[in-house]
Structure 1
Amino acid sequence: MINAEVKDKEELKKLCVENELVAVEFMATWCSPWKIMAPVFEELSYKYTNVTFLRVNIDEVDTKEEGIRSIPAFQFYKGGERVAGFVGCDAQRLREEVERLAS
């Protein structure tokens, strides 16, 4: 289950600091590749309950500070620090990143 749909960048920062491991999906509802990746991200959120999964709609939240220029984009935070990330429609890579960081 997606833990939160983030509504502003202050909330994003707060959630990334407050939780041990955070996976963030940067998306937009009009993005076709996101529509492919969304079910994968959702599936992982049920499997890895020790990870906080967040969704950020770039049309609603300013993501320049996070360096988001293309979507879908995925970033991973530990203790508020970005530890990994990638851009694109690569379900296998998403699975591998979450598994690597969560174990």
Structure 2
Amino acid sequence: MILQKREVSKKEDEFRALLKEAGDKLVVVDFSATWCGPCKKIAPEYEVKAHLSVVNLTLPLFSLQDVSTDCGISCMPTFHFYKNGKKVDEFSGANLTTLIEKLEKLRS
């Protein structure tokens, strides 16, 4: 299984196009910021475990404010999970165990 990691930083259209392009693959969208303590805490371990997902999109929270607002992001890190362009689950926080459990469940 190949992990595709992309940082979305241009506009909402790019975000929507990437969701569509992924088709029925699991897409994990990581809403985070480089200055966020919990984001920095979970990032190294998450990247090691991220092979469990198929497509991983990182959205720096403030560079795509419209996407973050539309997705209802109120804290960081927040992970949204999509299949076929539709959100199927979400998780907020830096609990790596819970995040990996969600990845494994949704991947199957």
Establish whether TM, by shorter chain, passes 0.5. yes
In 2, are the aligned partners of 1:2 and 1:42 still within 8 Å (CA)? Answer: no
| Residue 71 (structure 1) aligned with residue 76 (structure 2) | yes
CA RMSD of aligned residues (A): 1.4
User: SS in structure 2 opposite 1:12?
Assistant: helix
Identity of aligned residues (%): 36
Amino acid in the other structure paired with 2:14: E
Task: Tell me the alpha carbon deviations over residues 37-88 of structure 1, each in whole angstroms, 9 at most, x when there is no partner.
Answer: 111321122x23x610110001211110011111100000000000000111
Q: Match of 1:97? A: 102
Contact kept, 8 Å, 1:21 with 1:52, in 2: the verdict is yes
1:18–1:79: 8 Å Cα contact kept in structure 2?
no
C-alpha distance in structure 2 between counterparts of 1:53 and 1:41, whole Å: 11
Number of residue pairs aligned between Structure 1 and Structure 2: 101
Q: Tell whether the 8 Å contact from 1:27 to 1:56 is kept in structure 2 after alignment.
A: yes
Query: What residue is the counterpart of 1:44 in the other structure?
Result: 49
TM-score by length of 2: 0.86
| Residues in 2 aligned to 1:40 and 1:18: alpha-carbon distance in whole angstroms | 27
Equivalent residue for 1:3?
5
Counterpart CA distance in 2 for 1:41 and 1:55 is: 12
Give the 3-state SS of the residue equivalent to 1:25 in structure 2: strand
Answer yes or no: is the 8 Å Cα contact 1:21–1:77 preserved in 2. yes
